Chain A
Amino acid sequence: MGDQAQLLPGTLDLLILRAVSLGPLHGYGILLRIGQISDNALLIEQGALYPGLFRLVRQGLLKTKWGTSENNRRAKFYELTTAGRKRLREETDNWNRLATAIGAALSARPEEV
């Protein structure tokens, strides 16, 4: 697990939104999905996920509904609201811009300065 990256502050919300955007998921499912889409490069403490989920529900970006998991356990499923979808788009754009900019800055060579 040593080569897993630390999560930047503020990025957990974005990851949750992204994970849920592919279809309704329960909490544990979200963790798995984040692991899957990031090639297990990002580490999220299991307990730390839930306050984030509740915050997003409170902000009206996620809605919840109880259902049954694939192995027949009762679980709470999260999915995006319209506001959540919009927020995901904005945050993704922001992130891409920021990432491009930082990437450019870090890869700049002396002669290009």
Chain B
Amino acid sequence: MSTEHDHDHSRHTAGPDPRTVKHHTQEQTQVLEDRVKKLEALLVAKGLVSSVTLDKMADIYEHDLGPMNGARVVARAWVDPAYKSRLLTNATAAIGELGFGGLQGEHLVVVENTPKVHNVVVCTLCSCYPWPVLGLPPTWYKSAPYRSRVVIDPRSVLQEFGLNLGESVEIRVWDSSAELRYMVLPERPVGTERLDEEELAKLVSRDAMVGVAKA
């Protein structure tokens, strides 16, 4: 299996956001830094912010993009057949209907689990992931064992996640790329007929939308 470093990253990662590639000279950076320091000093002096809170704030946003958007997409598809049909034909547009986007040229594809077909998502080359709906990928998704083994022996890998599928269930493995990001539409659990969309969304786990668990 190849390592993280010897494959073509350009195919798997969208180009850097042009808004972030600007390189300031040292002098320009110093001026910007001073402006921010002045604001911070002012706001700290007024007691409006504390330096401790500020230290944590960016970290929280960096690491807390969660899978809630995906859960809302799934719940909508469970209650609204017309939405589900749009989701399965053009997921990028259907997900956009709910206000989720932010992709830079990648397309989302949603694949549906049925009693006979179970889907599971991987990125064999790196860690392409449908982040606008699922947030940031878990560590195991990026691990070499998952990336290589789920393709060769998905049934055993899913068993290790605690998911035992009958021999009659076909397992389809979807390999993500820069252009195509897959998400699984899990089966609606039995006995949830009385739940509304919001309650249903709470049942949908990240793992179910990657395909290593049931909803």
Please indicate whether A and B come from the same complex rather than being unrelated chains: no
